[in-house]
Amino acid sequence: MVAEPVDRAAAPVRPTPVGRRVAPRRSRAWLGVLLVLVAAIGGLCLLYLEQTSRVVELGYELTRLQRNRDQVALEVAALRYELARRQSLARVEELARREYGMVPLRKAESLRLARPAPLPTPVPPPRSERSWWQRVQDALLGVGHAEAETTP
């Protein structure tokens, strides 16, 4: 028996058990697909959480704005009440008597005045009877027409 030279640079040969076939090595592409799938699910979860927190934030803002609207409505109602109170005839009469020294009218007299004669209405000057196409032609050619005023 002659010994064969052993090439150590060659891949080591694994011993195979008797009766079992060696399965070819599978590629690890499934690992990349799994990582992409996990990243996509994680991204969707983060998007869901972001949207949920935004909805909650908008709910708080809506509640605050409704509270402000109710407060402004109360202020408007109070101002309308104050305006109606100040415009009441009893208050105006009391204020006129107290601050301005006014008293109620005791005797009313009516006066008849003669109306002045109405002023004459000015008559517009007669317009020149030129057709529309003559006016357009004059406007295009730059021809002007002066009209004297008859009113002094």
**CA dist 70 → 56, 78, 79 (Å):** 21, 12, 14
Q: Which residues of 65-92 are buried (b: 16+ CB within 10 A; e: fewer)?
A: eeeeeeeeeeeeeeeeeeeeeeeeeeee
Global confidence as pTM = 0.40
- Rounded to 5°, the CA angle 63-69-70 comes to 90
The answer on pLDDT for 20 being more than 80 is no
- Round to whole Å and give the CA distance between 51 and 53: 5
- Round to whole Å and give the CA distance between 33 and 13: 31
The answer on pLDDT for 137 being more than 80 is yes
Summarize pLDDT for 116-135 with one digit per residue, the tens: 888 888 887 777 677 888 88
